[in-house]
A and B are shown apart, each in its own frame.
Chain A
Amino acid sequence: MPASKSDNNHFFMRVAIIDYGMGNLFSVQRACEQVGLDSVLATSPETVLAADGVILPGVGAFGDAMEALRQSGLADALCRVTQEDKPILGICLGMQLLMEESFEFGRHPGLGILKGSVIPLQESASSAGHFKVPHVGWSQIWRRSKPTAAVDTWKETPLQNLEDGAYMYFVHSFTVVPESDCSLSTTRYGQNEFCSSLARGNIFACQFHPERSGPQGLRIYQAWAAQLKKSGALL
Chain B
Amino acid sequence: MKMTEKKPALPPNIRIIPRLDIKGPNLVKGIHLEGLRVLGKPNRFARAYYESGADELLYVDIVASLYGRENLLEIVEKTSREIFIPLTAGGGLRSLEDIQRILRAGADKVALNTAAIHRPELIREAARRFGSSTIVISIEAILRPDGTYEAYTDNGREKTGLDARLWAVRAAELGAGEILITSIDREGTGQGFDLELTRQVAESVPIPVLCCGGAGKVEHVAQAVTEGKAQAVCMASLLHYHFVKHHPLSDQFAEEINLAHLRNGGGSSRIQEVDIPVMKTHLRGRGIICRPANPITTTSLCASPS
Binding site for B on A (CB under 8 A): 22-24, 26-27, 30-31, 34, 59-61, 123-124, 126, 128-134, 136-140, 142-143, 146-148, 163-167, 169, 171-172, 186, 188-191, 209, 211-218
Out of B105, B131, B295, which one reaches A166, CB within 8 Å?
A: B295
* Residue B153 interfacial (CB < 8 Å): no
Q: Please list the residues of chain B having a beta carbon within 8 angstroms of any beta carbon in chain A.
A: 1-4, 8-15, 50, 55, 80-81, 84-86, 103-108, 129-134, 177-178, 202, 206-208, 229, 231-232, 290-292, 295-296, 299, 302-304
CB-defined A-B contacts under 8 Å, sample of 12: A24-B107, A133-B206, A137-B12, A137-B14, A138-B291, A147-B1, A164-B3, A165-B3, A169-B86, A188-B9, A190-B9, A190-B12
Nearest chain B residue, comparing its CB with the CB of A138: B291
Contact of B84 among A139, A142, A217 (CB under 8 A): A217
Shortest C-beta distance, B10 to chain A (Å), equals 6
Give the dominant DSSP class at B's interface: loop
Assess whether A140 is in contact with B302, with CB atoms less than 8 Å apart.
yes
From A123, A130, A142, A166, give the contact of B3 (CB < 8 A). A142
Q: Is the CB of A215 within 8 A of B104?
A: no
The answer to whether residues A212 and B13 also contact, given A165-B302, A169-B85, A188-B3 and a CB cut-off of 8 A, is no
Chain B residues closer than 8 Å to A188, beta-carbon distance: 3, 9-10
Q: Please determine whether B4 and A146 come into contact, CB atoms closer than 8 angstroms.
A: yes
Q: How far is the CB of B88 from chain A (nearest CB, A)?
A: 11
Q: Judging by beta carbons under 8 Å apart, are A137 and B13 in contact?
A: yes
Q: How far is the CA of A138 from the CA of B108 in the complex (A)?
A: 15
B212 to chain A, nearest CB (A): 16
In the docked arrangement, what's the CA distance between A167 and B13, Å? Answer: 10
A30 contacts B81, CB within 8 Å? Answer: yes
Closest to A142 in B: B3
Q: Which residues of B contact A166 (CB under 8 A)?
A: 295, 302
Contact of B9 among A128, A167, A171, A209 (CB under 8 A): A128
B12 touches A131 (CB 8 A): yes
Known: A22-B130, A136-B231. A167 touches B295 (CB 8 A): yes
Residues of B within 8 Å of A147, CB to CB, are: 1
A205 to B147, CA, bound (A): 49
* Complex Cα gap A47–B120 (Å): 39
Assess whether A138 is in contact with B55, with CB atoms less than 8 Å apart.
Answer: yes
Decide yes or no: A22 and B131 within 8 Å by CB, A27-B84, A138-B15, A169-B86 being known contacts: yes
CA distance A136 to B299 in the complex (A): 23
Q: What distance in Å separates the Cβ of B52 from its nearest Cβ neighbour in chain A?
A: 11
List the 10 shortest-distance A-B pairs measured between CB atoms, nearest first. A59-B131, A60-B131, A142-B3, A138-B291, A129-B11, A167-B291, A165-B302, A171-B133, A26-B106, A128-B9
Please state if B1 and A123 are interface contacts (CB–CB under 8 Å): no
Q: Known contacts A30-B80, A212-B86: does B296 contact A136 (CB below 8 Å)?
A: no
State which of B84, B108, B291, B299 has its C-beta within 8 Å of the C-beta of A24.
B108
The distance in angstroms between the C-alpha atoms of A22 and B103, with both chains bound, is 11
Task: Give the complex CA separation of A214 and B85 in angstroms.
Answer: 6
Name the residue among A165, A189, A209, A211 with the largest chain B CB count within 10 angstroms.
A165
Taken together as a complex, chains A and B put the C-alpha atoms of A124 and B11 apart, in Å, by 11
A139, A146, A163, A172: the one contacting B13 at CB < 8 Å is A139
Report yes or no: A24 in contact with B296, Cβ–Cβ below 8 A: no
B302 in complex: contacting residue of A23, A60, A134, A163, CB < 8 Å? A163
**Which residue among A126, A132, A137, A140 has the maximum number of chain B CB atoms within 10 Å of its CB?**
A137
- The reply to whether B84 and A213 contact each other, CB–CB distance below 8 Å, is yes
Q: How far is the CA of A233 from the CA of B74 in the complex (A)?
A: 40
What 14 new A-B contacts, CB under 8 Å, besides A22-B130, A140-B302, A164-B1?
A: A22-B129, A23-B134, A27-B106, A132-B207, A134-B208, A139-B13, A143-B3, A165-B302, A165-B304, A167-B291, A212-B86, A214-B295, A215-B295, A216-B295
B300 to chain A, nearest CB (A): 9
Q: Would B207 and A191 count as touching, CB distance under 8 A?
A: no
Interface centre among B9, B10, B15, B302 (most CB of A within 10 A): B9
Nearest residue (CB) in A for B3 is A142
User: Nearest Cβ distance between residue A42 and chain B, in whole angstroms?
Assistant: 17
* A-chain residues with CB within 8 Å of residue B302 when the two chains form the complex: 140, 163-167
Task: Find chain B residues with CB under 8 A from A139 CB.
Answer: 13
Cβ contact of B130, chosen from A59, A129, A215, A217, cutoff 8 A: A59
